[in-house]
Amino acid sequence: MQPIEPNTPPNSVIWRVVHFPLTLLVIAVALIIAGSMASHLVLPSNRPGDFSGWAQVAVSAANAGIIVLAYWILVRFVERRREVADFATRGWLAELGGGFGAGIVLFSLVFGIILALGGYRIVGTNSPSVLVLPLATSLLTGLVEETLFRGIFFRLMERLFGSWIALALSGALFGAAHLANPNATLFAGIAIALEAGIMLAALYMLTRRLWAAIGLHAAWNFAQGALYGIPVSGFQQVGLLKPSVSGSTLLTGGAFGAEASLTAVIVDTLFGVALLVLAYRRGNFVAPMWARR
């Protein structure tokens, strides 16, 4: 399955320029910035971290709405496509649920390995009520980040440079985006570029929709923070379990969380490579633009 190209009138130089991937990327960024500026007219702040509880969820939902609306405008009116295929609703719940289940299993495997090797020790539990808010915020975070990094950046870079280079570029950008987080290290950025960058882009390539990647991304964050109480990308969490962390940061990820562990890099990258193999066998890899003409 190949991605859907923009609907470019054959004799229009202007539309050919507009539909060039780098032009579309600039337009997408402009739409997102415009939406963010508009949100300031209604909200005192559009940073979820400035709020707590359900107010934080509401602000996250507003931000997600802005990103998805910008994406919809980009696809329908700039790319002139009849359907926003990445968010097609047929079978969406099964893909979202399948991705979510895979994310829970993957992080549970990482947690179990670190636990067995002595890096984690469970010292107590919290009330199940701690699961509710993180479930909502994890889903919204997955929606926003997958739309931005896979739906926009990876998809457009894949049209221009082909799948392999797009994998490298989107993974590097995704890893670099986490370097400003608390307790981030260079290894943490490289780890996220490898494990999440490959795995999530490969899942998008396999399905050519965003639902499964959103589910997996959300579940990874939810399991890491809300279930197991491990920091999520450097941000401290209160989870159902109370873990004690000790030993090498290569094993545990330290204060950044398990994402910065060699354990997660190995498990998730292997899973991502398996997804890439499936995508390749299904003919879902894209050649560079200059090789398709």
- Give 35-59 pLDDT, tens digit per residue: 888 777 766 655 655 667 788 788 8
**What spatial distance separates the first Cα and last Cα of the chain, rounded to whole Å?**
18
Going from the C-alpha of 226 to that of each of 59, 121, 181, 211, the distances in angstroms are 20, 16, 19, 21
- 256 token code pair: 């950044």
Answer yes or no: is 225 within a domain.
Answer: yes
Higher pLDDT, 57 or 105: 105
Measured in whole angstroms, the distance separating CA 126 from the mean position of its chain's CA atoms is 28
Residue that is written with structure tokens 């507003």 in the block: 62
The whole-angstrom separation of Cα 159 and Cα 5 is 8
The closest alpha carbon to 138, from 203, 219, 211, 59, belongs to: 219
For the chain, the domain total comes to 1
Answer yes or no: is 281 within a domain.
Answer: yes
Higher pLDDT, 56 or 106: 106
The whole-angstrom separation of Cα 275 and Cα 277 is 5
Encode pLDDT of 233-273 as tens digits: 999 999 999 999 999 999 999 999 999 999 999 999 999 99
Residue ranges making up the domain that contains 123: 89-292
Answer yes or no: is 287 within a domain.
Answer: yes
DSSP bridge partners of 126? none
Answer yes or no: is 17 within a domain.
Answer: no
Q: What is the pLDDT of residue 23?
A: 97
Under the banding of pLDDT at 50, 70 and 90, the label for residue 10 is confident
Answer yes or no: is 285 within a domain.
Answer: yes
The whole-angstrom separation of Cα 197 and Cα 173 is 9
Q: What is the pLDDT of residue 62?
A: 86
Q: What are phi and psi of 42, to 5 degrees?
A: -110, -35
pTM of the model: 0.94
Answer yes or no: is 194 within a domain.
Answer: yes
Q: Which amino acid is at 176?
A: A
Q: Mean pLDDT over all residues of the chain? A: 93
Higher pLDDT, 100 or 52: 100
What mean pLDDT is predicted for residues 89-105?
96
Measured in whole angstroms, the distance separating CA 229 from the mean position of its chain's CA atoms is 20
The whole-angstrom separation of Cα 82 and Cα 134 is 35
Could you tell me the sign of the dihedral formed by the alpha carbons of 272, 277, 282, 283, in that order?
positive
Q: How many CB atoms lie within 10 A of CB 182?
A: 11
The whole-angstrom separation of Cα 293 and Cα 160 is 12
Higher pLDDT, 60 or 117: 117
pLDDT at 106 over 90: yes
Q: How many CB atoms lie within 10 A of CB 26?
A: 11
- 241 token code pair: 């379990």
Percent residues over pLDDT 70 in the chain: 96
DSSP bridge partners of 242? 124
Could you tell me the sign of the dihedral formed by the alpha carbons of 47, 52, 55, 56, in that order?
positive
Q: What is the pLDDT of residue 58?
A: 84
| Lowest-pLDDT choice from 56-65, 133-142, 197-206 | 56-65
Encode pLDDT of 142-179 as tens digits: 999 999 999 999 999 999 999 999 999 999 999 999 99
Percent residues over pLDDT 90 in the chain: 82
Inter-residue contact 107 to 228 (CB < 8 Å): yes
Q: Which amino acid is at 163?
A: S
- 13 token code pair: 């130089």
Answer yes or no: is 122 within a domain.
Answer: yes
Answer yes or no: is 28 within a domain.
Answer: no
